[in-house]
Structure 1
Amino acid sequence: MNIIQKLSCYFLLLFCGIAYGNPSDNILLQKGWDALVKDQENEAFNYFFQAYEKAKKENNVHDKAEALLYLGICSFGASSEKGLRYATQSLSEYKKLSATNPQAAKKGRSRCLQLISTIYSRQKKYPQAIALSKSVVSDLEGTNDTEGTLGLAYSSLGTLYEHQKKSDSSTYFFKRALAEFERSNNIAYLPNAYIKMGDLSKKKNQKQQSYELYSKAMRLADSSENKQAQVLSLIALGNWELTFNRQQPQAEIYFQKAKLLSEKLSDKVFEIKSIQALIDLKKLQQQFMEVSQLQDEQIQIKDRYYSLEREQIAKNLEVQFEVAEKDRKLELISKEKEVSRLTNFLLFSLVLILLIVFSFSYFFLKRINKRDKQLLKTKEELFTALEEQKKLKEQQFENDIEHKESQLSAITLQMLQKNELLEEIKSIIRKKDDSTEKQLSRIINSHFTQDQNWNDFDKYFESVNKNFYNKLKQKYPDISSNDLKICALIKLNLSIKEMASILNISPDSVKTARYRLRKKLQLTTEDNLTEFILSV
């Protein structure tokens, strides 16, 4: 890793302070960040990896995404490819939060894109880096971004456009970045933002404005005890003195103070930068002996720096090997779990199939049993219906026999009466005396007496037509005995002439009696008397 790359790494960490630093609740991530700020990258990587393993075990998608993001920050300085891989994995994990926690997913996506933009910028993929930072700006503009990600995107765009010599665009985004940092009062970002704006003002020969911006940066760096920002502010003030006041002694004071502060920093980029400022000053003063000494000192620092860098790279490789071994073991465990899961799945499937077959057989047999029971019940109902039908037929047969017996009794009685009458007439004729005619007349008259005959008629009529009279009397209380006789003769379906002969009255009298009966029965002219009587 050369000096420019290390400086780029520093600026990323510096600009990512709040957005990527101070993880909210995860202690392992907090410890890892603290170690990373102190340039203890190996220790930081271990903390971040432990946080990742813990989140993976607990299936905590948010912490897994955070851990992958910090692994990317920790790794990209030594390996852009690995940093990019961790960043894209983190981006994938944040995407899973879209349904459950869309706000966290959106913020995480923006942070990942900004990290990827920085990696692309290191790889000099400026168009891709610009596109990503613009995407971050598009997502966060108009929102209350308290983490500083939007300001970082503005600052990245300003730096990227500065590389492309687009001063207007660069100035525009640096101003937006400063405004965003001032709005959210992000003290960690403001010193560097003021230095950048001071550089722009210095290029425009705005002496007072550039000085005020550098002074603001210095005051904020002092108040926050940000040693790195203090070194950069002192170098900026020294260059300002050389540019506008030509005060080499004052500039040297600033550079020497910056050098003393940078010697205490673990990141030697700042010491190299402060020595370079002194070298440039001594060249202006034509103090070439001191220039040579400073250059030797700078070379020694670079040698130590590269030695430390190589050692750090070796440690990173060692950590990566350990991580790879853990990944391999985890992969083996994962495969074993997959085999176990597949075996359990097959066993579960087999049990499920057996259960389905058993259930199907059970319900099939149950259905057959239910059908058999239903068939047996239907047969029993059919048998019961046949028994009832048989009983009804027997009852009807008995009624028919009873009816025929009644008719037979009536006919027998009529024949007996007729025979008795004929025998009596025969006996009278044999005597042939004077009283014969009178006796015949008496007998005939006696047979015209209907009371006894009607009693017998009613008896046999009721035996055949049960409750006929009672039904009429209940429904029509005003009906007379003569009316009942007419009804009985109508029931026998006799003609008016036959009824007149039986009742020993004229046919006209029968018609009159029928008319009166219709009125008592409340029948209209359209109603048929015979049909009505037959229906009773």
Structure 2
Amino acid sequence: MKYLFLLLTVFLTTRLAAQTEAPILISATDSPLTTPGFPALKDSLEKALGHKDPIAAAGILSRMGETCYHLGYYPQALDYHLQAGKLYREARQWIPLAQNLNNIGTLYYYSRQPAEARSYYDEALSLFTRAGNFSGMAQTLGRIGHLSEKRHEYDSAAYYQHKALSLFARSASQDGIAKIYENLGSIHEDLEQYDSAYHYFSKALELNLLQHNRLATIEIYNNLGDILRKTSRFAESIPYTRSALALALETREEYQLSSAYRDLSKAYNLLGRNDSAFHYGELSRESLLNIYSRESGKQLSIIKAMYDTGKKDMEIAGLRNARNTAISLVIGALLLALLGILVISRQRLRIRNAALLRMQEQQQFQTRTELLQVQEESLKQELEVRSKVLGTHTLHIIQKNQLLEEIQGKIVDMVNDDRRDQKKQLKQLQQLIHQNFNHDQHWDEFRNIFGQIHESFFDKLKSYCSGLTANDLRLIALLKMNLSSADIAVLLGISQDSLRVVRYRLRKKLQLKQGESLTTFIQSV
């Protein structure tokens, strides 16, 4: 159950990133909560095509692409946007075409094809520039800047964001200016320039409050809370996060609500108030489950609409076949020679329909496969990030303990000196350093991250022996990481002789036979 919830969290976190991460995404007003139902859009598309209104059809196709984008169907969303772009281009509707190109670029960005995304952004920028549309130019520059930020090209990212800011100022778009301030804050946050990040986020908050943009205000409150937590001002972060929570409850923004609950859980955990941290963590989990349930319903609706469309096409083909058959029967009495031709024609039509059905099934299978690949890649990236964090914490502890060991040795030499006036203070300092070997906050962080990477490892281990102490579990975790005895001794702040004694006692607790390797046993759990 824990592993299932982790998968759900990663999947919905990815969806949340798609809703809030990129600058001025597919539509500033549409979201999964406000986008019309997919079946209704299908019906509207058929009417527009029936009335031979390509511009209206292109707009509906674009909306269908947005719906699929919000639900994570990137290949299907790309198909709809490409169809819309073709209609806009034929009708010479340059501004809608440029907006649609931006949407396609965003889809390529989330499909991890930055070069393709940049080419579509550049074409959109060219169209907006030729039309003299400052707002469109600014939006596109903001997207290019965001793309540069995610590629860690921070100088380019800041350059494009400032260009977008000047263009938004010329078009007097306060919402656009606020979004660029938020993007600049994100850049400085990535660079760990937290004072500058706080400054830009605060300016974005001021503008969003004036514009009554509640969704953007929620995001800024969360960003400010993040900055304060990263600068160890945990208590100061809570009012911002609570403001975000209140707005999310008021606007029923489930994604933002889950994020606010999660941030409150982090803050209270950092403050040592674990009861409150657990409470808000559970609320975040319930919110994620609600989102998953709602998203599943929307996905089923889209699948049903696609199925109904295919079924309707087959019924139309069947009616046509029946009509052809009736005509052939009437004519067959007079022209028996044509019967063979009609039979062959019918067989060809059946084969063509079967081939079309197989093609549709292959496309659906490919779509599902691509979605699974995206989800698998997200899980791999999450595991890689946590593994790197675990290695970083381990290296930090080793370096810190080695430094303390060196300092302790020097102090011992000084204590052995005849200068009696310093002995008392040096002995106290020596005792303090020795205590610090086993009381480091990084051990708690190490165990939390280790438990996330090696799920249920400790539970399986306790099935062999329920009397393991915290020190036993700490030693077992280091052995699981294949660290050398020298590194383990440094991490635990003990000598290698003491380590051999500790390992012997652990073997007895685990009831290992003589000659059986302790490390091999732990690796097999």
**TM-score, normalised on structure 2?**
0.53
Give the whole-Å Cα distance in 2 for the aligned partners of 1:257 and 1:264: 11
Give the whole-Å Cα distance in 2 for the aligned partners of 1:44 and 1:119: 21
Give the whole-Å Cα distance in 1 for the aligned partners of 2:133 and 2:314: 40
Kept in 2, the 8 Å contact 1:55–1:63? The answer is yes
1:15 aligns with 2:15: no
Kept in 2, the 8 Å contact 1:5–1:122? The answer is no
1:39 to 33, 42, 64: 33
Structure 1 position 330, deviation (Å): 6.6
Give the whole-Å Cα distance in 2 for the aligned partners of 1:218 and 1:297: 26
1:5 aligns with 2:14: yes
1:287-329: per-residue Cα shift (whole Å, max 9, x none)?
Answer: 2222222222222221222122222211222222233344556
Aligned to 2:286: 300
Question: What letter corresponds to residue 100 of structure 2 in structure 1?
Answer: C
Give the whole-Å Cα distance in 2 for the aligned partners of 1:13 and 1:48: 25
Give the whole-Å Cα distance in 1 for the aligned partners of 2:311 and 2:24: 33
Structure 1: 5+ residue runs without aligned partners?
Answer: 22-32, 99-103, 339-536
Aligned to 1:274: 260
Distance 1:111 1:238, change over 3 A: same
1:426-467: per-residue Cα shift (whole Å, max 9, x none)?
Answer: xxxxxxxxxxxxxxxxxxxxxxxxxxxxxxxxxxxxxxxxxx
Kept in 1, the 8 Å contact 2:269–2:277? The answer is yes
Question: What letter corresponds to residue 94 of structure 1 in structure 2?
Answer: Y
Report SS of the residue matched to 2:70.
coil
Give the whole-Å Cα distance in 1 for the aligned partners of 2:24 and 2:323: 42
1:185 aligns with 2:172: yes
Kept in 2, the 8 Å contact 1:66–1:90? The answer is yes
1:55-95: per-residue Cα shift (whole Å, max 9, x none)?
Answer: 21221121121111111111223311111111111111112
Give the whole-Å Cα distance in 2 for the aligned partners of 1:229 and 1:267: 11
Structure 2: 5+ residue runs without aligned partners?
Answer: 1-7, 325-525
Give the whole-Å Cα distance in 1 for the aligned partners of 2:255 and 2:39: 25
Structure 1 position 252, deviation (Å): 1.0
Structure 1 position 204, deviation (Å): 5.9
Aligned to 2:274: 288
1:132 aligns with 2:141: no
Aligned to 2:150: 163
Map 1:222-371; keep pairs closer than 5 Å: 222-242=209-229, 247-328=233-314
**TM-score, normalised on structure 1?**
0.52
Report SS of the residue matched to 1:15.
coil
Aligned to 2:103: 115
Structure 1 position 231, deviation (Å): 0.9
Report SS of the residue matched to 1:235.
helix
Map 1:430-449; keep pairs closer than 5 Å: none
Report SS of the residue matched to 1:76.
helix
Aligned to 2:141: 154
Give percent identity, aligned residues only. 16
Give the whole-Å Cα distance in 2 for the aligned partners of 1:254 and 1:155: 26
Distance 1:185 1:261, change over 3 A: same
Question: What letter corresponds to residue 53 of structure 1 in structure 2?
Answer: E
Aligned to 1:197: 184
Kept in 2, the 8 Å contact 1:110–1:139? The answer is yes
Higher relative contact order, structure no. (Cα contacts within 8 Å, ≥ 6 residues apart): 2
Per mean C-alpha deviation after superposition, the further-off stretch among 3-12 and 219-228 is 3-12
Give the whole-Å Cα distance in 2 for the aligned partners of 1:72 and 1:116: 9
Distance 1:14 1:213, change over 3 A: closer
Structure 1 position 212, deviation (Å): 4.2
Kept in 2, the 8 Å contact 1:8–1:122? The answer is no
Kept in 1, the 8 Å contact 2:23–2:183? The answer is no
Rg bigger for which structure? Answer: 1
Question: What letter corresponds to residue 255 of structure 2 in structure 1?
Answer: V
Question: What letter corresponds to residue 109 of structure 1 in structure 2?
Answer: L
Give the whole-Å Cα distance in 2 for the aligned partners of 1:135 and 1:128: 11
2:60 to 67, 76, 79: 67
Kept in 2, the 8 Å contact 1:157–1:173? The answer is yes
